[in-house]
Amino acid sequence: MRNLTRHPAVHLLLDATWSHTAASWLILGGESALAESIATDHADASIRWQAVDVRERASIGADRANLFMDEPGIPASGIDAVVVAATPDRDLVRRWLLMARDALAPGGRLFLAGANSEGIRPIIGDAVKLFELPDREDYRAKGRIAVFTRNDADRGDPAWVREPGVEPGTWRMFDLEIGETLMPIASQAGVFAGDGIDAGTRLLLDALPVPPSGRVLDVGCGAGVIGLAAAHLGVGSVDLADVNLLAIQAANENIQRLGLGQCRAYPGDVYSGCGDTRYDLIVSNPPFHRGKAIDYSVADRLIEGAPAHLRPGGSLLVVANAFLDYGKRLERVFARVETVTATRQYHVLRGSSPR
């Protein structure tokens, strides 16, 4: 077995799919290692991949003539084999299972795998409700795989099939309160805090400065809550960036719904998509988890790269859990660091005057 990744789902899926003959494949989620390996193993087949992370999509070699990139959520039909690499986000995987059922030709195969630590067993149970019992199920120490065949038996759908944001083509709605205004926000499965405003973001919103006619960058924007709030409060222009393509879809949906023409959302890894643009304010609620471990890599790139993207007098505003050591990291880069507001659980920090 090729040692391409540590994730058990990828190993299980490649072991199960390499000998399966199919003219057309659809991969939902997963890593570039999975997509490239299936494209190599099935060089005469057409492989379509709906990646979630723009970094994974960008790492694919240009020589993969049979591997095609689709935006997440694009409907497909008549597919011979669908591959789903499950994530801990059960609602997202449920959406993928529904998409797989719609995409598969009668008799087509679904290959579903995930890590035990990320909840693959109940996800396989969700698939059983759509496909009946698997033709095959296998496991290793850290993961499990199940293979299903599409048939047209009338078995009735579970209630979650119609949940907004889970059902393909639907949005999950919640209200964003800005002063006396309620802004309707659309989100979907796979987007951070897709059910509403998390407490950290709310704290940042309540402390959000609005540079008149200024330019704002929202890094790791999710559905766009912080950037959209800044636009509503009168900022001149707002850029919203996220590595998650599902988040960018939601942010663009909100920009269109709310008629905020001064906003643009684009896929980008911290500052990778903004070129040499400079901002009056950079805001972020940066992720800090890699699995169960604390990971400062995104926050470090956000903080260390900020001076190159700030206008004179500009500042970086971040919210973080109180136990995270962002203050010292900011002090290495900025001469002035202050706590704007804080609770027992979160604090909002501002860095200005780069060293």
The tens digit of pLDDT for each residue in 147-165 reads: 999 988 777 899 999 999 9
The tens digit of pLDDT for each residue in 253-262 reads: 999 999 999 9
Cα 178 to chain center, whole Å? 25
- Is residue 179 exposed (0-12), middle (13-18) or buried (19+ Cβ within 10 Å)? exposed
- How much is the pLDDT for 289? 67
The tens digit of pLDDT for each residue in 292-339 reads: 678 899 999 999 999 999 999 999 999 999 999 899 999 999 999 999
Q: Model confidence at 3, in pLDDT bands (50, 70, 90)?
A: very low
CA 341/CA 348 separation, integer angstroms: 5
- How much is the pLDDT for 258? 97
CA 126/CA 94 separation, integer angstroms: 7
Say yes or no to pLDDT of 145 above 90: yes
CA 146/CA 100 separation, integer angstroms: 14
The tens digit of pLDDT for each residue in 179-192 reads: 899 999 999 999 99
| Percentage of the chain exceeding pLDDT 90 | 86
Instruction: Name the token pair of 80.
Output: 């011979």
Q: What is the dihedral of CA 137, 82, 188, 186, to 10 degrees?
A: -160
Mean pLDDT of the chain: 94
Provide the β-strand partners of residue 82: 26, 110
Q: Model confidence at 290, in pLDDT bands (50, 70, 90)?
A: low
CB 185 within 8 A of CB 254: yes
- How much is the pLDDT for 1? 38
| Single pTM value for the model | 0.94
- For residues 12 and 151, the model is more confident at 12
Say yes or no to pLDDT of 43 above 60: yes
How many residues would you count in the chain? 355
Please calculate the CA angle 138-142-148 and round it to the nearest 5 degrees. 30
Q: Which residue has the tokens 């393909």?
A: 168
Say yes or no to pLDDT of 61 above 80: no
- How much is the pLDDT for 15? 95
SS (H, E, C) the chain: CCCCCCCHHHHHHHHHHCCCCCCEEEEECCCHHHHHHHHHHCCCCEEEEECCEHHHHHCCCCCCCCEEECCCCCCCCCEEEEEEECCCCHHHHHHHHHHHHHHEEEEEEEEEEEEHHHCHHHHHHHHHHHHCCCCEEEECCCEEEEEEECCCCCCCCCHHHHCCCCCCCCCEEEEEEECCEEEEEEECCCCCCCCCCCHHHHHHHHCCCCCECCEEEEECCCCCHHHHHHHHCCECEEEEEECEHHHHHHHHHHHHHHCCCCEEEEECCCCCCCCCCCEEEEEECCCCEECCEECCHHHHHHHHHHHHHEEEEEEEEEEEECCCCHHHHHHHHEEEEEEEEECCCEEEEEEEEEC
The mean pLDDT value for 109-114 works out to 98
Closest-CA residue to 216 (of 202, 228, 207): 228
Contacts of 20 (CB under 8 A, 6+ apart): 81, 109, 111
- Among 1-10, 43-52, 202-211, 279-288, which stretch is predicted with the lowest mean pLDDT? 1-10
- How much is the pLDDT for 63? 75
- How much is the pLDDT for 151? 86
CA 108/CA 79 separation, integer angstroms: 7
CA 294/CA 134 separation, integer angstroms: 36
Instruction: Name the token pair of 205.
Output: 């919103």
Q: Which residue has the tokens 């083509």?
A: 169
Structural domains in the chain, sorted by start: 8-162 (3.40.50.150), 172-354 (3.40.50.150)
Q: Torsions phi, psi of 246, nearest 5? A: -65, -35
Say yes or no to pLDDT of 7 above 90: no
Say yes or no to pLDDT of 210 above 50: yes
Closest-CA residue to 83 (of 53, 42, 121): 42
Rg (CA), the chain: 22
Say yes or no to pLDDT of 2 above 50: no
